[in-house]
Structure 1
Amino acid sequence: MAISVFDLFSIGIGPSSSHTVGPMRAARMFALRLRSEGVLDSAESVRAELYGSLGATGHGHGTPKAVLLGLEGAAPRTVDVATADQRVDDIKAAGRLRLLDEREIGFDFAEDLVLHRRKALPYHANGMTLRAHDATGAELLAKTYYSVGGGFVVDEDAVGADRIKLDDTVLKYPFRTGDELLRLTTDTGLSISSLMLENERSWRTEEEIRAGLLEIWQVMRECVARGMSREGILPGGLKVRRRAANSARKLRSEGDPKALAMEWITLYAMAVNEENAAGGRVVTAPTNGAAGIIPAVLHYYVNFVPGADEDGVVRFLLAAGAIGMLFKENASISGAEVG
């Protein structure tokens, strides 16, 4: 099984890779499956049922919104976060939904999207089942999906095979453990980032890899800038007030930033975490729950390390990706599970 750094550092939306990004991808996969099986135009209704952690904490994590937008064809990477909430409100008010923005169907938010707060599916805590029916009520398609962490999604066909979709790409320097990774660097004389670059070439050219990683860095920069400029109350019902903008003003007034580097790192992470909580665009790193750490360290590098440049940003993301892969291979990066 091969994992790319772009699988780990994927552009998406908040507040949760398991509860928002994954369900949006799953719902979109279901709608695309309707089209590929030639039954999209026959669909008259869709019912989504969320189980386990998705059902228990779904409203707080924006899961219902993610499912509705995914059914309409939105993808976490490109969904318009500025209009997403209004689109969901429109669906609720009209009782109508457009599958893949093509097939309009009736959708009763209270009846057709069910959160099972005390029921779980057997494979994973983050499970969801979607069903489509025609005008007679006959079932056209039913699929169960699991959001297994970091925005990764598998359907029931993959249960028992692996926690994520298998990729049989042959890597030049495969590794599954920290010992294997360090042994490879010793045997080849390559740094971790250089070794990762060689593996990434199995999917993309070096120019594409560099451009893709710098795009990820740009999204991180934009996220920090937004987080340090926006004020108000975060969504979710707890009335938590944003703090990053006020903290940024205070730090700017306190003199030499170099003397306050650690405070700035904390601020960068806070800004991303607040944007994530607000449903803004973030980079999973490797989950939304940890989305602030990588941008904070990179901002420290760019703003406080002499000689910092884009080459260093690329090397950092490649090396960080290697560490993320060790966790993805050997543990779970899915949070907020229920027992």
Structure 2
Amino acid sequence: MAISTFDLFKIGIGPSSSHTVGPMRAGHRFLLGLEEKGVFDQVATVTVELYGSLALTGVGHGTDKAIMLGLSGELPDQVDPESIDGKLMIIKRDLRLMLKGQKAIEFDPKKHIIFFRKKVLPLHSNGMRFIAYDARYNELHSRVYYSIGGGFVVNEDTAKEDRLKKDTTALPYPFKTAAELLEMSRSSNLSIAEIMFENEKAWRSETEIRAGLDRIWQTMKECIDRGCRNTGVLPGSLKVKRRAPDFYKDLTQNPQKALRDPLSILDWVNLYALAVNEENAAGSRVVTAPTNGAAGIIPAVLRYYEEFCSGADQEGVYRFLLTASAIGILYAENASISGAEVGCQGEVGVACSMAAGGLVAALEGRSSQIEEAAEIGMEHNLGLTCDPVGGLVQIPCIERNAMGAIKAINASRIALKREGTHHVSLDSVIKTMRATGADMKTKYKETSRGGLAVNVIEC
């Protein structure tokens, strides 16, 4: 199974990789399937059934909107966020949907998107079924998809075979575990980032790899900057006020105060994370890293590296992203990055682990220190639940990213003070995270039926 850095880092829109990005991709994939089956011209309407976590928190996560956009031919990395509200307003007003902008079909969101809140499809909590009908309501084509986290989507057949859609590309340095990755680094005398770079060359040229990494980092920085500027209240019933602009104003207008505070750098890191996740909650352009719910951690830590670490340069940014993706691949292969499957330890926990290891790599730490930092980042997120209040990616998600970013920096500092020998391996903590997720009650896994979601009164 081959997974690329650009599979882990996807440019898309908020607020959720599993509940927004994935369903949009599924809708688009179903659209292509209608053409492949040769029934596109016969379609009169489409019904979409949502199950499990998608049904329970789909409205708050914009799942219904994402599906309509996907069926309209939009993709998360290409759709203009500013155009979304207008497109959806037309669909809701006319009760018709344009498939690929070519064919109008009957589509009433209240009638044709069905939420089965008490049912779960067999292979994952984030299941959905698309059914296309002709004018006489005869079924033309149907397909089940699972949004398994991080924007990854698999169909029913693929899900039975493997967690992710199989890519059989032969890589020069294939690895399944952290132990294999460390041994490969030792025997080849290559860093983890160099191993990932060589693997990426199986798909694209060196120039394309660097350009892709530049685009990812530029998109992250633009998201931070937008979040520092945009004021107001986030969408949804909670009416959460954006805090990043006030944070930014305080830090930039009171530089002397910051100089007197030895922990002011933490304020900047908090700002970066809050800015990204407030933009994510608003449905803006973000980078899935490795999920949208945890999209602020890696940008915040990478911005910390760029702004506050001596000797920071573009090569360090590349080392960070390539190394972080190697760590993310280990979780995707051996556990999960889906909050609906293993709780928030699979989102904020994984992002924290990735960022910790990535920062050590950027600072030119050894592979063993990278592995330890990644382990520390997850070890202290084990058991973290996913309990979004109101089904929105806001409380506790936004602040949780700030906490995860600070924790990642601390994990890297601890690891860099050691020789890379420690009692708990990254492989062990990944195995533990997966087992913990399996033991976790469903109400704590992105269903909004437990934890803060039921103990915080919505205003």
Q: Secondary structure at the match of 2:283?
A: coil
Residue type of the alignment partner of 2:276: V
**CA drift at 1:137:** 1.2
Q: 1:289 aligns with which of 288, 293, 296?
A: 293
In 2, the alpha carbon distance for the partners of 1:193 and 1:64 equals 38
**CA drift at 1:119:** 1.1
In 2, the alpha carbon distance for the partners of 1:18 and 1:293 equals 17
**CA drift at 1:82:** 0.7
The two structures have a TM-score, normalised by structure 1, of 0.97
Q: Secondary structure at the match of 1:115?
A: strand
Query: Which residue of structure 2 aligns with residue 193 of structure 1?
Result: 193
**CA drift at 1:87:** 1.1
In 1, the alpha carbon distance for the partners of 2:126 and 2:319 equals 33
In the alignment, is residue 164 of structure 1 matched against residue 168 of structure 2? no
Residue type of the alignment partner of 1:289: G
In 1, the alpha carbon distance for the partners of 2:163 and 2:235 equals 31
In 2, the alpha carbon distance for the partners of 1:193 and 1:133 equals 49
In 1, the alpha carbon distance for the partners of 2:244 and 2:29 equals 36
The 5 Å alignment of 1:71-90 reads 71-90=71-90
Indicate the structure whose relative CO is greater, using CA pairs within 8 Å and at least 6 residues apart: 1
CA contact (8 A) 1:32 1:100 kept: no
Give deviations 1:178-199, integer Å, cap 9, x for gaps.
1111111111111111111011
In 2, the alpha carbon distance for the partners of 1:55 and 1:165 equals 23
Query: Which residue of structure 2 aligns with residue 142 of structure 1?
Result: 142
**CA drift at 1:247:** 0.6
Query: Which residue of structure 2 aligns with residue 309 of structure 1?
Result: 313
Structure 2 CA distance for partners of 1:161 and 1:177, relative to 1, 3 Å: same
The 5 Å alignment of 1:110-121 reads 110-121=110-121
Equivalent residues, number: 339
In 2, the alpha carbon distance for the partners of 1:315 and 1:116 equals 44
Give deviations 1:253-298, integer Å, cap 9, x for gaps.
2216675211101110110010111111111111111110111111
CA contact (8 A) 1:65 1:85 kept: no
Query: Which residue of structure 2 aligns with residue 4 of structure 1?
Result: 4
In 1, the alpha carbon distance for the partners of 2:172 and 2:112 equals 47
**CA drift at 1:305:** 2.2
**CA drift at 1:48:** 0.6
Give the structure with the higher percent helix. 2
The 5 Å alignment of 1:235-274 reads 235-255=235-255, 260-274=264-278
Q: 2:326 aligns with which of 298, 319, 322?
A: 322
Give deviations 1:67-122, integer Å, cap 9, x for gaps.
00000010010111011122112101110101122111111111111111111111
Residue type of the alignment partner of 1:4: S
**CA drift at 1:245:** 0.5
CA contact (8 A) 1:283 1:291 kept: yes
Q: 2:304 aligns with which of 286, 300, 305?
A: 300
Unaligned regions of 5+ residues in structure 2, if any? 342-441, 444-459
Query: Which residue of structure 2 aligns with residue 133 of structure 1?
Result: 133
Unaligned regions of 5+ residues in structure 1, if any? none
The two structures have a TM-score, normalised by structure 2, of 0.72
